[in-house]
Amino acid sequence: MSTPTASAKDTHDWSGELVAVARLRDRGSFMRIYDHFMPRLCLYLRGLGNPEAVAEDLAQESLLRLWQRAALYDPQQAAVSTWLFRIARNLHIDRIRREPHWAHVLEDGHAETDDDAVRPFTSAEDYAEHAHLKGRIDDLPATQARLMRMSYFEAKSHQEIADELAMPLGTVKSHLRRAFQRLQGQLRGAP
What pTM does this model have?
A: 0.49
Q: What's the pLDDT tens digit per position in 172-182?
A: 888 888 888 88
Handedness of CA 119, 124, 129, 132 (dihedral sign): positive
Residue 132 domain-assigned (yes or no): yes
Q: What's the pLDDT tens digit per position in 94-146?
A: 888 777 655 444 333 333 344 444 444 444 555 566 666 777 888 888 888 88
User: Which of these three, 120, 151, 173, is where a domain ends?
Assistant: 120
Q: Where are the alpha helices (DSSP H) in 99-157?
A: 102-108, 114-118, 124-138, 142-148
Neighbour-count burial for 94-107, b at 16+ CB within 10 Å, e otherwise = ebbeeeeeeeeeee
Residue 89 domain-assigned (yes or no): yes
CATH number at residue 109: 1.10.1740.10
Q: Which domain holds residue 155?
A: 123-191
Q: Which residues contact 19 (CB under 8 A, 6 or more apart)?
A: 70, 73, 75
